[in-house]
Amino acid sequence: MDIDAFAAVHRPEWDRLRALSSRGRLTGPEADELVTLYQATAGHLSALRTKAPDPLLVTELSDLLATARGRIAGTHEAKLSDVSRFFLVSLPAAFYRVRWWTVWVGVAFVALATVSGWWVATTPAALASLGTPSELEEYAEEAFAAYYSNYPAGDFAGQVWTNNAWIAAQCIALGITGAFPVYVLVANAVGVGSAGGIMAAHGHLEVFFGLILPHGLMELTAIFIAAGAGLKLFWAWVSPGPRTRSRALGEEGRSLFVVALGLVLVLAVSGLVEGFVTPSALPTWAKITIGALVLAAYWAYTLVLGRRAARAGETGDLEEDLAGYAAAQAG
């Protein structure tokens, strides 16, 4: 295809489409002409992308079509199908794409927390650095357990949800730095490990796990997801592959925004467990079983629906007509 000749032939149609798209009011015939020109230009763009993907011309026509589409259809209105697509396709696909980042972040977190807890429990100097003997005893005997029952369950669940959702959002939003997710992981791993070490040193390790595991299985996994998603965004900037760096960041950013929205719901569930199940009078085994079932439900949702969506080519990104057409590129 001769790009110059193609553009020269169709330029009058594109100019006319641009003129109609920019008008404040259209007559009936003009509106019909706008739709006809839009359809024709969409065909031109398709032919260009297939046979001669000139980046400049593809970008020009993509912008022109976006403007015309807005003139024809107006703003996008949320529909029931959008909601079902989000929960059945976009969200599981986005979670599925960061599954290995989630796993490896979780492995690193557990390893660091274990080492931290062992060090505190077996090193008198490390234990002493965390407080006086009376303070540590009071923490192990009363304060740790009291944390989960000092406030009404509903208020406590809402507070936990808000705090953890904010941490998760920061991990994703500031993930491009590569440093903030690592800082959050290290700080929380050391904190959890130190708490476990104090409880172990005072003979209450079973109390620690009995109160941490019911909600922590899902809550910590949500933080792993957020940190892994943030690091994935950072890696898209470092190594975009065949994509341009801006395109890689745009695609990953939109997909990870879906992850952030999904984590609001995931953390709401873990907050409910922490507020109502963890401090309840249920046997410890029953509370841990509830937490494990919540975690299993998340992974079933991610692996079953996410794998299906991924095989269909979904990534969690917006559909092309909403995200905007990307300029063609080599590679």
Confidence band, pLDDT 50/70/90 cuts, at residue 330: very low
Within 10 angstroms of residue 146's Cβ, the number of other Cβ atoms is 12
Tell me the percentage of the chain whose pLDDT exceeds 90. 43
**Closest-CA residue to 258 (of 214, 216, 226):** 226
Element (H, E) at 43: helix 28-51
In which band, very low, low, confident or very high, does the pLDDT at 102 lie, cut at 50, 70 and 90? Answer: very high
Does the pLDDT of residue 236 top 80, yes or no? yes
- Residue that has been written with the tokens 């080519």 in this structure: 313
In degrees rounded to 5, what are phi and psi of residue 130?
A: -95, -10
pTM equals 0.70
CA distance 221 to 269: 12
The pLDDT, as a whole number, for residue 78 is 52
Burial pattern 288-297, b for ≥16 Cβ within 10 A else e, equals bebbeebbee
The answer to whether 45 and 321 are in contact (CB under 8 A) is no
Please give the pLDDT value at position 328.
44
Report the C-alpha gap between 14 and 40 in whole angstroms: 9
177-204: per-residue pLDDT in tens?
A: 889 999 999 999 999 999 999 999 999 9
pLDDT at 273: 92
- The answer to whether the Cα torsion of 300, 154, 193, 142 is positive or negative is negative
pLDDT of residue 49: 75
Tens-place pLDDT, residues 13-39: 989 888 888 887 888 888 888 889 888
233 pLDDT higher than 80: yes
User: Would you call 16 exposed, middle or buried from its count of C-beta atoms within 10 A (0-12, 13-18, 19+)?
Assistant: middle
Distances in Å between the alpha carbon of 265 and those of 121, 152, 161, 216, 254?
36, 21, 9, 15, 18
- The rounded mean pLDDT for the chain is 85
Instruction: Report the pLDDT value the prediction gives residue 52, as an integer from 0 to 100.
Output: 67
pLDDT band for position 121 (cuts 50, 70, 90): very high
- Residue where the block lists tokens 């990104």: 317
Q: Is residue 224 very low, low, confident or very high in pLDDT (cuts 50, 70, 90)?
A: very high
pLDDT band at 331 (very low <50, low <70, confident <90, very high): very low
Phi-psi region of 326 (alpha: psi -120 to 50; beta: other; left: phi over 0): beta
Q: Which residue has the higher pLDDT, 67 or 55?
A: 67
Calculate mean pLDDT across residues 96-125: 95
